Amino acid sequence: MVVYTQEHVYRHPWDRVTAAAWRKFTDPASRTALSHVADVHTLHRRLDPEAGRLQAARSITVRSPPLPFILRRLLPAAASSPSGAALCHCVETSLVDAPRRAMDVVVRNVSLRGLIEVEERSTYRPHPERPEEWTQFRQETTIRCRPLAALAAVAEKVETRCAERFLQNSAKGREVVERICRYLEAEAAGAASSAI
């Protein structure tokens, strides 16, 4: 099993960063950076206006990098392509608590679980030193290669390779959120100057 944690400070306020995080997959300019994301659909969302809380679930389909031959042999034919890549379906659950300025996101794969289990937990909170200006992002990812657990060396190699790809994709996702934050900042500045 591989577990790793990443932290990032967005030099933007919490409300802007969380708005950008929601737009990450739907922003047309993000398609190149997030080319591994094949599809995103909202499964449900529930807003409690009195409590200021939003709960949502989305389905996210991603393309894996080419898998090692041994793993391709373990996949059903429909899940693998000739290139060795696989489609993986995930469910993202999110809880936004606006009064507390907290957003928690959990993503788990629902397909390929007999092969690999991935859980990614992310939090967005105001930065403790500059809570009105910056946002602290923390992400913990756990990857476990199930059928190869008996072959520890092979499982470790597969888990490490997956972790490397997740780290690369995570960096791309942060870049997209940063770009959308800059866009939202410019949009707000333009709206403010046109109101004067």
Environment class of 131 (CB within 10 Å of its CB; exposed 0-12, middle 13-18, buried 19+)? middle
Kindly list the structural domains of the chain, giving each domain's residue range(s) and its CATH number in brackets, ordered by start: 2-189 (3.30.530.20)
CA angle 82, 83, 85 (to 5 degrees): 105
Query: Cα 195 vs. chain centroid, distance in angstroms?
Result: 36
Cα separation of 147 and 153, whole Å?
12
Cα separation of 73 and 68, whole Å?
9
The whole-number average pLDDT for the span 59-80 is: 70
Q: Which residues contact 183 (CB under 8 A, 6 or more apart)?
A: none
Alpha-carbon dihedral sign for residues 167, 168, 171, 176: negative
Beta bridge partners of 10: 135
Which pLDDT belongs to residue 35? 86
Q: Which of 129, 59, 69 is nearest to 94 (CA)?
A: 59
Task: Please state the pTM of the whole predicted model.
Answer: 0.83
Residue 49's pLDDT band (cuts 50, 70, 90): very high
Beta bridge partners of 105: 94, 122
Residue 181 has φ and ψ, to the nearest 5°, of: -60, -45
Which pLDDT belongs to residue 78? 45
Please write the tens of the pLDDT for every residue from 70-118: 666 666 654 556 666 778 899 999 999 999 999 999 999 998 887 788 9
The whole-number average pLDDT for the span 130-140 is: 97
CB atoms within 10 A of CB 188: 11
Query: Cα 58 vs. chain centroid, distance in angstroms?
Result: 11
